[in-house]
Amino acid sequence: MNNNNLEEKPINFIRHQINDDLDSGLHSAIQTRFPPEPNGYLHIGHAKSICLNFGLAQDYKGKCILRFDDTNPAKEELEFIESIKNDVQWLGFNWNGKVRYSSDYFAKFYQYAIELVNKGLAYVCFLDAQQTREYRGTLKQAGKNSPYRDTPVAKNLLLLEQMKQGKFLEGECVLRAKIDMASPFMCMRDPTLYRIRFDKHHQTGNAWRIYPMYDFAHCISDALEGVTHSLCTLEFQDNRRLYDWILEHLEDFNKASRPHQYEFSRLNLKYTVMSKRKLQQLVERRLVSDWNDPRMPTLSGLRRRGYTPNSIRDFAERVGISKVDAMTDMKILEDAVRDDLNVVAPRTMGVINPIKLIIENYPKNQIETLKAPIHPQNKAMGEREIFFSKELYIDKADFAEVSPNKKFKRLAIGKEVRLRNAYVINATTFDTDSNGNVSTVYATYDPNTLGKNPADGRKVKGVIHFVEATQAIEAEFRLYERLFTLENPSKNEHFEQLINPNSLIIAYGVVEPNMQDVAPETAYQFEREGYFCRDNESADDLVFNKTVALKDTWGLGRG
């Protein structure tokens, strides 16, 4: 491949396969697909698949389609469909053509089921769920044939039609493939192809009473749509045998150019859960506010927290594609968004836990307008106005009565610091409230230190941020940490008991006045505090969600 864009991409086994298939002439172009089941919101693990499938199509100038695997109406909702479409587009990808649904092909699936029955390769089975498990055998013991396995073709066709017409109860019978009950692969021991469901389908209504299983619908959908490379995660590795078996035994698809399945490792992220079932439990048990709770690994949750599409695409690139299952460190995701926001996020100042600072020698009723860079490394972004007066707010954590150690570079009695983008001050005394907590700090300022060091050569090492009191805007800060206290909570049967009690801390502070009308999802670096964005669910209130700290401070306190 001579395409410069391709040469810049890290080569993995999937790209090697595509290169070989194009070079050999097996395919003249590639087509991939992203096939989510609409039974929940997408999470960061799905982003890896989205970036892979859509990214390959872009790089090789091929096509990628969006197809909903909607073969289980009992668990699917239109809300999930819309959220998935929004997430894919938010990540920066567009699918080829219209949105597809497995339900678009229900009539064709049924005809292919009839073809397998006519070939003696499928039969209607009346074993109940418990009997089916017993007949299937174990990993060490072969299964045994169903007593319905040798039902004549004509009767199977009649029974299948009666299933379709709703003549049987849910669970009374299924259509099974006739493969090999002694196969070492459990998925090949006469797997179910169709089951009965009376739920109303969000696309087809009550037109169908039987629905295909994923393994049957997926491979046929791929073939009907012209997919060349069907990319799945490793849990479907054994099922590739069934994928191939179905296509090889259907006349329309038994050819070299039919789709082939390739598996890669799924994304497992530390300090969270990646199972949609477990995520749904968190929502249903109200352990989080909803699917888009900023502590959730869902794309809508990450978006609300302030993660950018670019950072998530970069994260997927950093993680890479392989066949090795591993736990991915949360730090890789946090570094990706931190690196992105460091470049693009404007700077501002916000005081999360404010206490009053009185500048004793500053003129009363005077407000001074100062200039501060919007981005210190990008002068093209310009400057912003900040204000300075006798009364300011500083963060409670930036003051100590006595400096605790030599490394403490914040404000203490008799110790000088610089107020960011303003003057050098020296703390003189302080007041406390009825609980003994510091409420007001008093200081003097050096009027000759705006934008320059003290004239007498004394060195001031510390810098703290502030917000002028009379112009300050009240704001709510939602400080997020990792959702669970353990790296791999999924291993614990009662994973919901491992939620980090400090995963959300709400504080009420102040921000610069220019933050009043910030649009939802707009990212900022609150200087010395971290990266924040305005919450997209709090239109009437000024709420900022913490995206990530300025550096990795997990377990180390405030940076």
Using CA atoms of 460, 466, 470, 476 in order, give the dihedral in degrees to the nearest 10: -170
Q: Is 277 a catalytic residue?
A: no
Q: Is 276 a catalytic residue?
A: yes
Q: What is the CA angle 526-484-291, rounded to 5?
A: 75
- H helix count then E strand count, the chain: 13, 29
Residue carrying the six token digits 């200087």: 527
User: Reduced to 3 states, what is the DSSP secondary structure of residue 436?
Assistant: coil
Q: Is 467 exposed, middle or buried (0-12, 13-18, 19+ CB in 10 A)?
A: buried
Whole-angstrom Cα distance, residue 70 to residue 547?
Answer: 34
Q: Which of 243, 246, 258, 210 is nearest to 112 (CA)?
A: 246
Q: For 265-374, where are the E strands, in sequence order?
A: 268-269, 327-328, 347-348, 350-351, 354-359, 367-373
The DSSP string of 169-199 is -TTT-EEEE-S-TT-SSGGGSS-EEEEE--S
Whole-angstrom Cα distance, residue 271 to residue 483?
Answer: 6
Q: Which residues partner with 416 through β-bridges?
A: 426
Choice among 144, 164, 241, 266 that is catalytic: 266
Q: Is 379 a catalytic residue?
A: no
Using CA atoms of 276, 282, 283, 289 in order, give the dihedral in degrees to the nearest 10: -130
Choice among 15, 37, 85, 356 that is catalytic: 37
The DSSP string of 193-256 is EEEE--SPBTTTBTS-SEEE-HHHHHHHHHHHHT-SEEEEEGGGTTTHHHHHHHHHTSTTT-ST
Whole-angstrom Cα distance, residue 369 to residue 295?
Answer: 38
Q: What's the maximum distance between 2 C-alpha atoms anywhere in the chain?
A: 103
With a CB cutoff of 8 Å and minimum separation 6, the contacts of 64 are 31, 32, 33, 34, 53, 54, 56, 57, 58, 93, 95, 96
Contact 546, 382 (CB under 8 A): no
Angle subtended by helix axes 309-319 and 44-59, to nearest 10: 80
User: What values do phi and psi take at 269, rounded to 5?
Assistant: -105, 135
Choice among 176, 178, 276, 384 that is catalytic: 276
User: What residue spans of 250-308 are helical by DSSP H?
Assistant: 276-284, 299-305
Active site residues: 37, 266, 276
